[in-house]
């Protein structure tokens, strides 16, 4: 395979403490690959499915528009073998190279721990940003939470031991994550690092644990024999889902439900009290809607909706038109 680093069109990654040197063709035998146990970005090791996808993709040749794997210059001798570089990003691709018996590849060479940033700050942040190649295997939520907690424990200048700083770091370096996923990452990183929170936010498990420890309320649709109702914990934004669950539970059992609520983190525009009031308003609005539906049903004997049918989905049986009920 003819490899030409001058054909790489991928834009070098910009990360704190990282300096891009150049793209170059390097023999794989010259690159030391740290054990996966030493890589907190991949807590659970290599993903075999992703390695197989990469094996098939890279067998077709190099994609010059994708960021190559990243190495740094670091000479060392391990078990009598002399290495000139160390792999920083690209464990899955390196495994795919071996599967394809590839002897050399184009790599991006970086210097780390520049401009006063620590090695941990620069390498871990670079690894998070880089995990966006094709086929992609982004860092898991758990991996990112562990990285943030690790950086804090190493005295990071990028993220400090408080919730706001952790949120800023995740927002800055994990931009493509869904906002709910980022919130989950922040909550877990806060727990791992013991960070200070001005306003506590709960995961579902956190909420269950708190109720078990401090109250006699039930949750997750379990029956509360003391109150003779079914209990539910409701996170802000999920009022509709749990109201429907309570309706279903009443239809099945003839018993009522209650809700124990908690909000997401407050913002500059919405304080904690604002969010609590909005949750109460959301339930009141939904209840008003139910009353209107009930009035419509009493007047017409039907609900203000109907099922028209199904879209075609069964390719095996050659469905290709709308299925009317």
- Examine the domain organization and report whether 174 and 103 are in the same domain: no
Domain with 247, as residue range(s), is 204-300
Element (H, E) at 41: none
> Residue with structure tokens 């609005």?
285
**What is the per-residue pLDDT for 196?**
64
Residue 303 has a CB neighbour count (10 Å cut-off) of 10
**Looking at residue 8, what DSSP letter applies?**
-
Q: What is the dihedral sign for C-alpha 168, 174, 180, 184? A: negative
**What is the per-residue pLDDT for 183?**
87
Q: Is 310 a domain residue?
A: no
> What is the pTM assigned to this prediction?
0.57
- Examine the domain organization and report whether 133 and 181 are in the same domain: no
**What is the per-residue pLDDT for 316?**
85
- Examine the domain organization and report whether 155 and 284 are in the same domain: no
Q: What is the dihedral sign for C-alpha 133, 139, 141, 145? A: negative
- Examine the domain organization and report whether 88 and 183 are in the same domain: no
Can you give the CATH number for the domain in which 45 is found?
A: 3.90.1530.10
- Examine the domain organization and report whether 13 and 25 are in the same domain: yes
**What is the per-residue pLDDT for 269?**
81
**What is the per-residue pLDDT for 45?**
59
Q: Is 305 a domain residue?
A: no
- Examine the domain organization and report whether 46 and 92 are in the same domain: yes
* Tens-level pLDDT at each residue, the chain (325 residues): 789 999 999 999 999 999 999 999 999 999 999 876 555 555 555 678 888 888 988 888 998 998 999 999 999 998 899 999 999 998 889 999 999 999 999 999 999 999 999 999 999 999 888 875 455 566 788 888 888 988 998 889 999 988 889 999 999 988 888 888 888 898 888 888 876 667 777 878 888 989 999 999 999 999 999 999 999 999 999 999 999 999 999 999 999 999 999 998 787 788 889 999 999 999 999 999 999 999 999 999 999 999 999 999 888 888 889 999 8
Q: Is 321 a domain residue?
A: no
**What is the per-residue pLDDT for 23?**
96
């Amino acid at each position: 395979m003819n490899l030409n680093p001058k054909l790489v069109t991928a834009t070098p990654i910009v990360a704190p403490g990282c300096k891009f040197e150049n793209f170059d063709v390097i023999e794989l035998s010259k690159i030391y690959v740290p054990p996966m146990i030493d890589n907190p970005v991949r807590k659970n090791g290599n993903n075999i499915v992703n390695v197989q996808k990469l094996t098939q993709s890279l067998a077709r040749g190099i994609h010059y528009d994708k960021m190559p794997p990243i190495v740094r210059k670091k000479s060392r001798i391990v078990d009598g073998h002399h290495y000139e570089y160390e792999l920083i990003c690209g464990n899955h691709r390196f495994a795919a190279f071996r599967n394809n018996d590839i002897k050399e590849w184009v790599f991006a060479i970086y210097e780390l721990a520049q401009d006063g940033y620590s090695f941990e700050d620069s390498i871990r942040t670079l690894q998070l940003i880089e995990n966006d190649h094709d086929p992609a295997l982004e860092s898991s939520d758990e991996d990112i939470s562990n990285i943030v907690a690790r950086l804090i424990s190493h005295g990071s200048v990028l993220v400090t031991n408080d919730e706001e700083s952790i949120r800023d770091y995740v927002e800055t370096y994990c931009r493509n994550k869904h906002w709910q996923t980022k919130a989950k990452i922040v909550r877990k990183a806060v727990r791992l690092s013991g960070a200070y929170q001005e306003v506590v936010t709960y995961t579902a498990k956190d909420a269950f644990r708190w109720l078990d420890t401090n109250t006699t309320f039930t949750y997750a649709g379990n029956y509360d024999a003391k109150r003779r109702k079914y209990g539910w914990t409701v996170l802000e934004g999920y009022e509709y889902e749990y109201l429907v669950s309570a309706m279903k539970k009443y239809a099945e059992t003839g018993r009522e439900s209650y809700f124990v609520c908690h909000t997401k983190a407050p913002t500059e525009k919405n304080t904690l009290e604002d969010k609590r009031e909005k949750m109460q308003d959301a339930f009141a609005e939904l209840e008003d809607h139910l009353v209107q539906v009930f009035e419509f049903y009493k007047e017409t004997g039907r609900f203000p909706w109907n099922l028209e049918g199904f879209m075609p989905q069964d390719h095996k049986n050659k469905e290709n038109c709308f299925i009317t009920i």
